Chains A and B, each alone.
Chain A
Amino acid sequence: MEAVVDELPVILGAFWLTVKLTVVSGVISLVWGIVLAAMRVSPLPVLRGAGALYVNVLRNTPLTLIIVFCGLGLGTVMNVQFSRDDLSLNSFWLSIIGLSAYTSAFVCEVVRSGINTVPLGQAEAARAIGLTFLQTLRLVILPQAVRTVIAPLGSLLNALVKNTTVAAAIGVMEAALRMKNLFDAHGDAIIPIFLGFAAGFVVLTLPMNLLSGRLARRLAVVR
Chain B
Amino acid sequence: MTEISGSDPLVRLEGVNKHFGPLHVLRDIDLSVGRGEVVVVIGPSGSGKSTLCRVINRLETIDTGTIVFDGRELPAEGRALARLRSEVGMVFQSFNLFSHKTILENVTLGPTRVRKISRQQAEQRGMELLERVGIASQAGKYPAQLSGGQQQRAAIARALAMDPKMILFDEPTSALDPEMVQEVLDVMTGLAKDGMTMMVVTHEMGFARRAANRIVFMADGQIVEEGSPSEFFTQPSTERARDFLSKILTH
Mark A residues whose CB is within 8 Å of B. Answer: 119, 121-122, 124-132, 135, 139-140, 143-144, 147, 221-223
Contacts and interface: CB of A to CB of B under 8 A. Distances in A.
A128 B144 contact: no
Contact of B82 (A131, A139, A140): A131
Interface string B91-121: 0101011111000000001100110000000
A129 B111 CA distance: 9
Interface residues of B, number: 31
A130 B114 contact: yes
B86 interface: yes
A221 B97 CA distance: 12
A125 B144 contact: no
B110 to A, nearest CB: 4
A107 to B, nearest CB: 20
A223 B83 CA distance: 29
A121 B82 contact: no
Contacts of A221: 99-100
A131 B114 contact: yes
Contacts of A223: 99, 144
A147 B97 CA distance: 17
Given A124-B59, A222-B144, A223-B144, A129 B96 contact: no
Contacts of B12: none
Pairs of residues from A and B, 5 with the lowest C-beta to C-beta distance, nearest first: A130-B86, A129-B110, A125-B96, A121-B96, A128-B90
A125 B155 CA distance: 9
Given A135-B113, A139-B109, A128 B100 contact: no
Contact of A127 (B59, B79, B94, B113): B59
A181 B107 CA distance: 61
Contacts, number: 73
Contacts of B209: none
Nearest to A147: B100
B96 A124 contact: yes
Interface in B76-94: 78-79, 82-90, 92, 94
A131 B113 contact: yes
B94 A121 contact: yes
A132 B97 contact: no
Contacts of A135: 113-114
A129 B85 CA distance: 6
A124 B142 contact: no
B114 A129 contact: yes
B74 to A, nearest CB: 13
Contact of A128 (B78, B85, B113, B142): B85
A122 B96 contact: yes
Contacts of A130: 82-87, 110, 114, 162
B159 interface: yes
A126 B82 contact: no
Residue picked from A130, A140, A221, most chain B C-beta under 10 Å: A130
Given A223-B99, A223-B144, A129 B162 contact: yes
Nearest to A143: B100
B86 A222 contact: no
Interface in B137-165: 142, 144-145, 155, 158-159, 162
A143 B99 CA distance: 10
A132 B79 contact: yes
B97 A125 contact: yes
